[in-house]
């Protein structure tokens, strides 16, 4: 193109509704993202609450099956004997604790807390600060 042709080009003006259309699409996308996040939260929360309740039930059953509860009762009822043989008592207490079920229940509890934090962070999509346009 020559310089003469470039000078003849007029600036193109956008349609009057373009800005409102863009804002409407952004708002619709925010709604879709929020709905997806709520669905993910629902799935995570239901899975983790169900898993936590099942694992916590197994944890309490394994405490009753192992002698961990008896050792705790001995500590409360007769602390003199427990402290007199504190090495044997502490080793027995550690060996009888159902560590696997406790760790798995803590993992499920962590997932529950993280899913609520995920939902809390999703609410920022509708906060006034986030929705204001800075144009």
Report field, pTM of the whole predicted structure over 0.75: no
pLDDT at 9 exceeding the cut of 50: yes
What band does 3 get if pLDDT is binned at 50, 70 and 90? low
Q: Would you list the DSSP string of 83-94?
A: HHTHHHHHHHHH
Q: What is the pLDDT of residues 38-61, one digit of tens each?
A: 898 889 889 989 988 999 899 889
Q: What span, in angstroms and rounded, lies between the C-alpha atoms of 52 and 106?
A: 8
């Amino acid at each position: 193109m020559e310089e003469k042709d470039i000078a003849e080009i007029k600036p193109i003006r956008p349609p009057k509704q373009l800005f409102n259309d863009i804002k409407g699409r952004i708002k619709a996308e925010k709604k879709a993202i929020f709905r997806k996040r709520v669905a993910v939260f629902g799935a995570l929360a239901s899975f983790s609450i169900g898993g936590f309740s099942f694992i916590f039930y197994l944890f309490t059953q394994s405490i009753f099956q192992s002698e961990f509860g008896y050792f705790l009762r001995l500590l409360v009822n007769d602390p003199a004997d427990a402290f007199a043989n504190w090495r044997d008592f502490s080793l027995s207490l550690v060996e009888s604790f159902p560590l696997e079920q406790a760790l798995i229940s803590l993992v499920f509890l962590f997932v529950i807390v993280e899913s609520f934090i995920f939902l809390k962070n999703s609410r920022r999509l509708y906060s006034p600060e986030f929705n204001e346009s800075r144009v």
